[in-house]
Amino acid sequence: RKEVEQDPGPFNVPEGATVAFNCTYSNSASQSFFWYRQDCRKEPKLLMSVYSSGNEDGRFTAQLNRASQYISLLIRDSKLSDSATYLCVVIVLTGGGNKLTFGTGTQLKVEL
């Protein structure tokens, strides 16, 4: 089983739609959680942090469920510019420091 699992998609949605992605992680010792965005042929960039209490940034809402070991990302009122791959990231504190593990990514295509 992979440490971090995501539905690869693609999710094809019309502009203005609401779309949600889930990500599950296997290591119960995971400490911190984030969503990254990666545009085609570009490097990943941090989108937002994920907290148990939820985190909202404009049209984006991230949520963590520690008991079920999954995190989610909700995008409201999708824009064409939201088309990208969304990567779930889990951090485990190891003896050597921090190990950031990325999921496989979920591809989103927003269409007219």
Which residue in 44, 70, 74, 109 binds other proteins (CB under 8 A)?
Answer: 44
Contact call for residues 62 and 90 (beta carbons, < 8 A): no
105 binds other proteins (CB under 8 A): yes
d(CA 88, CA 73): 9
Binds other proteins by CB under 8 A, chosen from 96, 109, 110, 112? 96
Is the distance from CB of 48 to CB of 31 less than 8 angstroms? no
97 part of the interface to other proteins, by CB under 8 A: yes
8 touching other proteins, by CB under 8 A: yes
* Closest distance of CB 20 from other proteins, Å: 19
| Calpha distance 6→51 (Å, rounded) | 18
Pick one of 19, 103, 108, 110: the residue that binds other proteins (CB under 8 A). 103
Enclosing H/E stretch for 47: strand 45-50
Residue 12 lies near other proteins (rule: CB under 8 A): no
